[in-house]
């Protein structure tokens, strides 16, 4: 080691290179400091990795590295992904990105902005307008919701059609275990052919696959000739007569 003062920095006389190290931790190797270009060697170059540094007792060198580190991060980035800004609705709604649900006590006006009920019209509040211009009770088809402090449409959150019981699902749907109306799919029964036969033959439809073929009629074999027994009997009689005369 070439650091007689033990202040955390030294220069190797053999190479002329500068190093920093932790004099209190002998297990950490020294870190090379590039040759000075601006008096301390800490030059920002975004095409190169950020220089490493071990703090030392040289306060001026520590301050120079801190300045270099901040400048490197500003110009070259820290290597960490940028943090996206918090995404919020511009109209005061709470459900980004739809932005159509206002906080309690506010309502979405005709301009699409969440406003308090004292500045919203009676129509926007879903209330009837009294003769004196004040807002009365909820309009037909609306019910006052104490949770939202507003008149809300009489709609079942589970998709049912019979508000407020909300127990009847629309046609083509059924209520699941969670109490929500979901679509159901029905499988039609298999088609069966009419007529007799029964069993599997009743639903069998013959078909011919492959090359088109037209059945040909098979010719019937000719009938054998009928034997003339009368002529045969006459021949036998004649042979017998002629044999007796001989």
pLDDT digits (tens, 9 = 90+) for 213-235: 566 677 777 777 676 777 777 77
The model's pTM is 0.32
Instruction: Give the end-to-end CA distance of the chain in Å, rounded to a whole number.
Output: 161
* Higher-scoring residue by pLDDT: 41, 103: 103
Is it true that the peptide bond before 97 is cis, omega within 30 degrees of 0?
A: yes
Neighbours of 83 (CB within 10 A): 6
Neighbours of 56 (CB within 10 A): 21
- How far CA 239 is from CA of 6, 184, 227, in Å, comes to 158, 99, 19
**Mean pLDDT within 111-119:** 86
Summary mean pLDDT of the chain: 76
User: What is the per-residue pLDDT for 185?
Assistant: 74
Backbone dihedral angles phi then psi of residue 136, each to the nearest 5 degrees? -100, -145
Name the band, by pLDDT with cuts 50, 70 and 90, for residue 38: very low
Q: Are 136 and 128 in contact (CB under 8 A)?
A: yes
* Higher-scoring residue by pLDDT: 21, 89: 89
User: What is the per-residue pLDDT for 128?
Assistant: 92
Name the band, by pLDDT with cuts 50, 70 and 90, for residue 43: confident
Q: Are 150 and 125 in contact (CB under 8 A)?
A: yes
> How many percent of the chain have pLDDT more than 70?
71
Q: Residue 96 has which token pair? A: 């980004």
How far is 52 from 234, CA to CA, in rounded Å?
139
User: What is the per-residue pLDDT for 207?
Assistant: 54
* Higher-scoring residue by pLDDT: 203, 150: 150
> How many percent of the chain have pLDDT more than 90?
4
Q: What is the pLDDT of residues 45-82, one digit of tens each?
A: 888 888 887 777 777 778 888 888 888 888 887 765 55
* Higher-scoring residue by pLDDT: 11, 139: 139
**Mean pLDDT within 90-111:** 87
Q: What is the pLDDT of residues 173-204, one digit of tens each?
A: 898 988 899 988 766 667 765 555 444 445 55
pLDDT greater than 70 at residue 35: no
User: What is the per-residue pLDDT for 45?
Assistant: 81
How far is 19 from 41, CA to CA, in rounded Å?
11
Task: Give DSSP secondary structure letters for the chain.
Answer: ---SS-SSEEE-TTT--EEE--TT-TTSPPEEEPPPSSSSS----TTSPPPP----S-HHHHHHHHHHHHHHHHHH--SSPPPPPPP--TTS-SSTTT---PPTTEEE-TTS-EEETTTS-TTTTTEEEPTTS-EEEEPTTEEEETTTTEEEE---TTS-SSTTT---PPTTEEE-TTS-EEE--PPPPPP---SS--GGGGG------SS---PPPPPPPPPPPPP-HHHHHHHHHHHHHHHHH-
Q: Residue 53 has which token pair? A: 């540094």
How far is 87 from 5, CA to CA, in rounded Å?
55
């Amino acid at each position: 080691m070439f650091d007689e003062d033990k202040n955390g920095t030294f220069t190797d006389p053999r190479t002329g290179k500068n190093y920093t190290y932790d004099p209190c931790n002998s297990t950490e190797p020294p870190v090379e400091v590039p040759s000075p270009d601006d008096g301390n060697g800490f030059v920002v170059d975004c095409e190169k990795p950020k220089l490493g540094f071990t703090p030392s007792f040289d306060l001026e060198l520590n301050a120079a590295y801190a300045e270099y580190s901040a400048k490197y991060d500003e110009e070259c980035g820290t290597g960490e992904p940028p943090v996206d800004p918090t995404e919020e609705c511009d109209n005061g709604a709470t459900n980004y990105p739809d932005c159509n649900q206002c906080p309690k006590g506010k309502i979405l006006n005709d301009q699409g902005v969440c406003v308090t009920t004292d500045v919203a019209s009676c129509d926007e509040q879903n209330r009837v307008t009294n003769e004196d211009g004040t807002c009365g009770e909820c309009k037909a088809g609306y019910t006052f919701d104490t949770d939202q402090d507003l008149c809300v449409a009489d709609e079942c959150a589970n998709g049912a059609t019979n508000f407020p019981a909300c127990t009847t699902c629309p046609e083509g749907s059924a209520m699941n275990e969670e109490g929500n109306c979901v679509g159901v799919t029905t499988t039609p029964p298999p088609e069966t052919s009419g007529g007799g036969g029964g069993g599997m033959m009743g639903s069998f439809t013959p078909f011919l696959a492959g090359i088109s073929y037209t059945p040909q009629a098979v010719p019937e074999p000719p009938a054998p000739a009928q034997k003339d027994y009368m002529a045969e009997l006459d021949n036998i009689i004649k042979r017998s007569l002629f044999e007796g005369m001989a």
